[in-house]
Amino acid sequence: MGRFSFGILIVGVLVFGIVVGTQIKASISGDNLYEQQKKFSQAFLYVTKYYVDDVDTQKLTEGAIEGMLEKLDPHSAYLSAEQNRRSKEEFQGNFEGIGIEFDVLNDTLFVVAPVIGGPSDKLGIMSGDKIVEIDDSSAIGITREAVIKRLRGPKGTKVKVKIIRPGEKEPLYFVITRDKIPTYSVGVSMMLKDDIGYIYIDRFVQTTHDEFLEALKELKAKGMKKLILDLRQNPGGYLDQAIKISDEFLGGVQKIVYTKGRSSPEENVYSKPGDSFEKEPLIIIVNRGSASASEIVAGAVQDHDRGLIVGETTFGKGLVQRPFDLPDGSQIRVTVARYYTPSGRSIQRPYDISKRGREEYYNEIHERGWNELGINSPDPEVRKRVQEMRNRREPIETSLFIKPDSIHKPYRTDKGRIVLGGGGIMPDYLIMPDTVTRYYRQVRAARVFEEFAQHYIEQNPILRKKYEQNFEKFRKEFEVSGDMMKQFIALATKKNIPFNEAEYARDERYLKNAIKGNIARQIWGSKYERMIFAEEDNIVQEAIKLFPKAEALAKLGSVK
């Protein structure tokens, strides 16, 4: 897509951040580099030579590098060789293994779902299968880390597994030849109702734009005319993928993002005309876990009045890291620039480089939304009003409550709407997630949902026969019955979770939804669990109600 004016764009590996490469100038900012290197070398020599016990020089070196980077900012980082390898694997969009989504429940490894078209799927391995041996060694009591270590491996290598399958009297044995397994970043693509489509992207990897276009094509074929793009908990990823997706929404030649740094001149990226979703109503959902590349998409859409942003203020990760590989395969990621939305907002939140400051930087995000609205305001009337809104959980038009100040400096969108800086992307409408009771949290922590779903499927084989080939039928027809809830409560009680009638009554619809979602997960995989969860997701449901505002924005370029 020929619209980049970057001198160099590094499409490399990164996690929780953006990788933009620029030529690094030899600038030491007044420090005498040689003297500082000499000082460190002498200190390192004295420690390794005179310390009372033997010294692991690798750990010492890694600790020194980590300490050095911690003095810079919260996002410059060191990755060991193993961490670097896994990071590259995760963001390249594939890995090598047997191709199953798995879980470990009550010390038993079971198959949640085989990856369609993968080695396990081709051999007939099914969801619900229990893997009890791997290469003639017991898998009972295995940890998740050990599963990955024993089942992943180079393409072409083989692994033998022994499987117990519900309904089969004898164990089944399979020899699986490992292969490349694709991973997907579009976690959900579905029609919500009428002409509203929904796409959830959990990170930006090499294949995200292609996945997004395919999902968009399928939803349009089903009659989609409005789109909800969900970027909650999306930590970022490849910059070029975020740019391409932003471009799908922006008509003409419009600035998407720009970067500036001490040793990096300003670099601008623009959209091009003629993409696939430039005029239709658009809502983007974000939250405090949406960072980096997610914030680029949300910021570009908001600044150009292209769509409505709803949810929570995003994380505020606006520092650009460049990766530098080290001789042993490890890597350092050094911040080389800041990036800005088209209106000039810096996405980066303020930070303090001290250790306490770094801890506060990550902890502060949890209470940010309500603090911004004034939950801790010295004015009792403001606190009362915000608490009332908090209890009602209704969408809050952010501009009516958060005004420009020394932290939140005002900027203007293309059509003159005021948007605020201060770090992160502040939504047009703040929608806070529903909270659940202690009873719900206890059963979730004890994994009662997963265990109940597994037992229910095993005890009711007719369920799989009836719905396995038709998820939509399951989604529309299947209901968690009162008898099922009695069994669920009994299982929770058996796990020493006392029944609380009031809390149960408050959360009953969420409990039923979680049970249905876990049944879907164990028949079809995690993607289908998320599709069930969306039906009771209060933020998604509130976003749907805001489409009249999004339609006005799409047509007139303003929210009224």
Neighbours of 478 (CB within 10 A): 15
Among candidate residues 226, 317, 516, 549, the one labeled active-site is: 317
Q: How far, in Å, CA of 4 to CA of 10, rounded?
A: 12
Tokens 């489409």: give the residue: 547
Q: What is the DSSP letter of 185?
A: S
Joined together, the tokens standing for residue 385 give 């009003």
Among candidate residues 129, 179, 240, 303, the one labeled active-site is: 303
Q: What is the DSSP letter of 428?
A: S
Length of the chain: 560
Cβ-based burial of 153 (10 A; exposed 0-12, middle 13-18, buried ≥19): middle
Joined together, the tokens standing for residue 153 give 């491996």
Joined together, the tokens standing for residue 202 give 């959990």
Residue 452 CB partners (closer than 8 Å, separation 6+): 487, 488, 491, 515, 518
Tokens 């998407």: give the residue: 256
317 catalytically annotated: yes
3 state DSSP class of 210 = helix
CB 309, CB 394: distance < 8 Å = no
**φ/ψ of residue 390, rounded to 5:** -65, -40
303 catalytically annotated: yes
Terminal Cα-to-Cα distance of the chain (whole angstroms) = 35
Among candidate residues 292, 294, 330, 346, the one labeled active-site is: 292
Give the residue numbers annotated as catalytic, written as ranges: 292, 303, 317
